[in-house]
A and B are shown apart, each in its own frame.
Chain A
Amino acid sequence: MWCRLLERVEGVYMPYEGLDFYDVDSLLTEEELMVRDMVRDWVEDEVLPNIEKACSDGVFPDEWRVALGEMGVLGAPLEGYGCPGLSYVAYGVICQELERGDSGLRSFASVQGSLAMYPIWDFGSEEQKNKYLPKMASGEWIGCFGLTEPDYGSNPGDMITKAEDMGDHFLLNGAKMWITNGTLADIAVVWAKLDGVIRGFIVEKGDEGFSAPEMKGKYSLRASVTSELVFQDCKIPKDRIFPDIKGLRGPFSCLNNARYGISWGAIGAAQACFHSAKEYALSRIQFDQPIAAYQLVQNKLSWMLREITKAQLLSYHLGKKKDDGTWFPEQISLAKMNNVDIALDIARMARDIHGANGILDEYCIMRHMANLESVKTYEGTHDIHNLIIGRHITGIQAFTRTA
């Protein structure tokens, strides 16, 4: 921020200002605004100048892990054990600003906070919380979350990975796939069946029989590490099981938090595309006019503004309900599904406004578009969220066709 402010004094810098048509900023607390500005400035100064290289190299820069820890935003809404203790709305605006940088960056923070720290915070023993949470909040330890398997994505209940009680230890066998942060992670929260019941386990890097090879060849989320987790007679101590939580409620409660964050994150990606499209439309001259002067382009920009504004209000209201404890999971499904859907459409429309320039890495458009293809599918696909809402409306579960 600081150097940038001076560049502004010298008149060479045009800062990003988020679209805020309905003055959602006025609904945020002073603390939420300060957190938002802190993350926005960091993204502007440190992420945006380096994101294209990170994507082309296919790496998650380690200095981003350090900075997220130093800012103190990891596990944002969790309290105690060295965690920040912010509101869910603050967690939302953090996700929004991170994803304005890149969905891979927001994914890192979502997985660390909502999928790895949250289950330890909610379901872990006191010893587990004290051991892991402070180091994860500071960014010293990275976590990942193993639920999806090669053959079980939308249907995690039929997972194959299993745990056996060997008396003085557990033995894990199976494989997880599409695991964000897997290869980087110091610890993995792994869901496996023990005597046919889904239970949560903490696996540490270096545990015998555990490996996490990186998945290569992605065209999407390239600045995020995606891995397999392989357990071959993986031996873990008895104190690494979450004591009480059983069944899918465990992993699903993590997903609820992550999906809520994604609903905000998608707004950030959409804002980045809208901002770029607006600037481009105002500066690109065709037929002696900026293309922003043409009704077809204005119609597109107007549609983008409309959808971003609705998405902001949806996520803000959901955030207040998260903070009040009056939410239910189908509301999160709606926000995740809607906001990612419109963000992807906005990215595509922004590409259209940018013309041929839209495919270049000089602009953020193709990167966000490719990223959002993953975001649309992970954490409950678009279709599955429709079915969750369909079940809410009709009382009929469509995935298994049973009431």
Chain B
Amino acid sequence: MNRFDYIRPVSVPEAIAAAAVPGSAYLAAGTNLLDLMKVGASRPERVINITRLPGLDRIEWLPDGGVRVGTLVRNSDLAYDERFAKTFPVVAEALLSGASAQLRNAATVGGNLMQRTRCAYFHDLAGACNRREPGSGCDALGGENRLQAVLGWSEHCIATHPSDFCVPLAALDAIVEVEGPHGGREIALDTLHRLPGATPEQETALLPGELIVALRLPAEASSFSRNARYIKLRERTSYAFAVVSAAAALEVEGGTIRKARIALGGVAAKPWRAREAEALLEGKQATAQAFAEAAELALAEARPSGDNAFKIELAHRIVTRALSLALEGTPQAMPALPASPFPALSGANHVI
């Protein structure tokens, strides 16, 4: 444990000023950061608790039909917000497939965006990890890497981003609103998380001291509400990260795809938007063949980073499935097992 300063600012400017000191970290619910601090994988010198900042826990509907979600809105509160779930059902489904009910009740929107990789080597202080300790090497390469990245990785890092929530957000062109020492700016969620390249320690596009204050979903993203699904494969029905996952959203008119959105989870250091695959689908008939071609294109650049070639095949199949299920239509009600390929079973009529 490092000794660290603990600061609880009461305004955003105060928070940002406090975070200008190098070695600072923002703390919201702490469902990820505190665990990392306990094992020593994260060692901030200054922890800035933002949970008392005013006005960041609101869901605001914009005049154009978009939505602005404060960074402190709890995962559960957002997923169960009726209008939100109706307008952006794929996001609600992804949220409810993440973690456990207890964690979702605590975890915040901003915290979810900023969660760190689950790579075991990132957590294993006795091992080398460029993300944790730049230049030390990557023990995941050649290690136990069954669940590591198959897209966008480098020999410096093969970790994945674990969020479910971020996958449909990337697909739907979500925007992140940021405040920082030099004022406010907006970042497309798709560019918030960075691929490792030679600098895996630079995990996001945020500059030192910058604070995510809100997340915006544009009005256009609501046009997919009738045909959007998030599907997640995992080895336990709840409280498990995705082996691979996919968000698919379609705008269909008379069997023809007008617009398509596809993003993959669990495959790269960021939620993986598959723009070329989307483009391929647009204007095409919605057929299994077209979906398979889109999946092929989405995974065209994929390559195993270790004993994980199966993830490429699995990702291919889950993209196809997510598209098929999206075409079938968004379920009228949240499935009993959100994001599961399995429909409800007797005895399982609860959100996990």
Whether chain B is bound by chain A comes out as no
Residues in B lying within 8 Å of A, measured CB to CB: none
